[in-house]
Amino acid sequence: MDIVDRFIKYARIDTQSDENSTQTPSTQRQFNLAKEVEQEAVEMGLSDVSLDNNCYLMATLPANTPKNIPVIGFIAHFDTSPDMSGENVNPRIVKNYDGKDILLNEAKKIIMSPADFPELLHHVGEDIIVTDGTTLLGADDKAGIAEIMTAMQYLLDHPEIEHGKIRIGFTPDEEIGRGADKFDVAKFGAAWAYTMDGSEVGELEYENFNAASAKIEIQGRNVHPGYAKDKMINALHVANELIALLPERERPETTEGYEGFFHLISLNGTVDEAKLSFIVRDHDREKFEERKHLMVNSVETLNEKYGNRLKLELKDQYYNMREKVEPAMHVIDYASRAMEEVGVKPHIRPIRGGTDGARLSFMGLPCPNIFAGGMNFHGRYEFLPVPSLEKASEVIVKIAELVANNSASPKN
């Protein structure tokens, strides 16, 4: 199956996860894609194909050489972000993109313009897969699944390319921070792995945010507004005070590179009660702890002012994988060399986010992140250049070949 057709087939299957669910997977619809990929794996001729009750799918491409070669793995995730609908996704291909505005939806007058998204201009002359403006696309991470499956088919079709045993794994609920929760590292059995979950072509990442979630409940005191003096405590105003205690210039829209942030995800409520949800992020572990301390102190300050009306639930989600990958830098060397050999310039940079690989690295499976090719994830302006999709799959094949030949070049 052509990689573009494979991706579009996957993209049309709704797999949106739900952070309010306590089940694994958080939505049963993720099984719809999992079963499709499971069937493909069996028909392709992969072995040890297993889909468990929690929607974790694993399979094996057996080695085709008697050489003693480390077992490596490639991982992607089934779910799409809860940030925007993944139902009735209608991808289309813009052929030979000309660098101008792209009309995504004529009826709704939704336009994707390089004036707003200048990265489009990096892909002039390429075919680009876009949405119809009413849903996300799902390249995060259905592109990764398509790339892995296409690479496995290519290796099966080209037995002249020597490779060791390769394990592939697909997870649910990555977008809500649970993708590694029930991943069986021992069963996977790889020495190391790569998540195919990055963005722009050439990205190679082994540093990510340290991450925490913060949920705050505020109990107000509602009194008739005509008689509220010295009695009413408006939970919405208290919520605004909490937001104001956090640094205004340390939000996602004002930070980049290694800069961390506080991100307000949701605010719901009335005078009587309100709920806020934040995520807290920083690459530096010490600064990460300082951010959490500021969140705690801010809540305590308002509790002193209003009489213990705020409840904070602060949970660590994942940590920076750098400390687990750096002792095994050959893992990065193989990926970097593979990119170079297929004509892609590696861009080693920190992830301003997280992947399953971050947590898996702390579970004993070093697992950096490789580009999947999509851009503008989680929204209606998401797009996927076809050459980037194809190159990512080529990188997987080349890594397998280089590992079989022990061909990583040392980096100073």
Residues serving a catalytic function are 79, 174
Cα–Cα distances (Å) from 338 to 16, 49, 202, 412, in that order, read 32, 27, 11, 17
Give the residue from 287, 275, 192, 212 showing the smallest Cα distance to 247: 287
- The Cα 210–Cα 281 span in angstroms is 6
CA torsion angle 68 69 70 71 (round to 10): -110
Place of tokens 């572990």: 285
C-beta separation of 234 from 240 below 8 A: no
Q: Which two tokens stand for residue 40?
A: 């493909």
Residue 302 CA to residue 57 CA, distance in Å, equals 46
Angle among Cα 343, 346, 347 to the nearest 5 degrees reads 145
Sequence-ordered list of residues with C-beta below 8 angstroms from that of 172, at least 6 positions apart, any chain: 17, 24, 25, 26, 30, 34, 54, 55, 56, 77, 78, 79, 178, 179
- Reduced to 3 states, what is the DSSP secondary structure of residue 404? helix
CA atoms of 276 and 46, how far apart (whole Å): 46
Which residues are CB-neighbours of 211 under 8 A, at least 6 positions away? Answer: 177, 279, 280, 281, 316, 317, 318, 319, 354
CB within 8 A of 187, min separation 6: which ones? Answer: 58
